[in-house]
Amino acid sequence: MLLAFSPDNMTLAGGSLGFAYLWDAATAQEFARIPHGSNPVTSVSFTIDGKQLLTVSRKVVRIWDISAIPHVSDEQLIDYACSHITSNLSQDEWINYFGDTEYSLTCPNLKEKE
């Protein structure tokens, strides 16, 4: 995985297959996972002022406004995800992702997908 620190050394960015990641450098906690498509992210870099993140994947360069990327802690992740979806996985989808693990609703306030 390739890595880059923000100019203030407060944020660490990394890239891998299909995602760019942001970590709080002081706590080593991931706070954002940015989808980048199906190709590996081959480069990450911050602008000199640290306000933007540049990511490269194949022939695609993307520029992200750091202030617009929500910071989501591990403790907030399920609530954050549940606020952006309309239903839980169906039982068939669950099996595809989790195999024999017992089915459960990830978001109790949402119904199971049919």
User: What are the boundaries of each domain within the chain?
Assistant: 2-71, 74-114
Is the full-model pTM beyond 0.85? no
pLDDT lower than 50: segments of the chain: none
**What pLDDT score was predicted for residue 68?**
94
- DSSP code of residue 88: B
Res 104: pLDDT: 87
Both structure tokens of 100: 């024999």
Please give the pLDDT value at position 2: 86
Look at the alpha carbons of 64, 66, 67, 72 in this order and tell me if their dihedral is positive or negative.
positive
**How confident is the model at residue 41, as a pLDDT?**
93
pLDDT of residue 14: 95
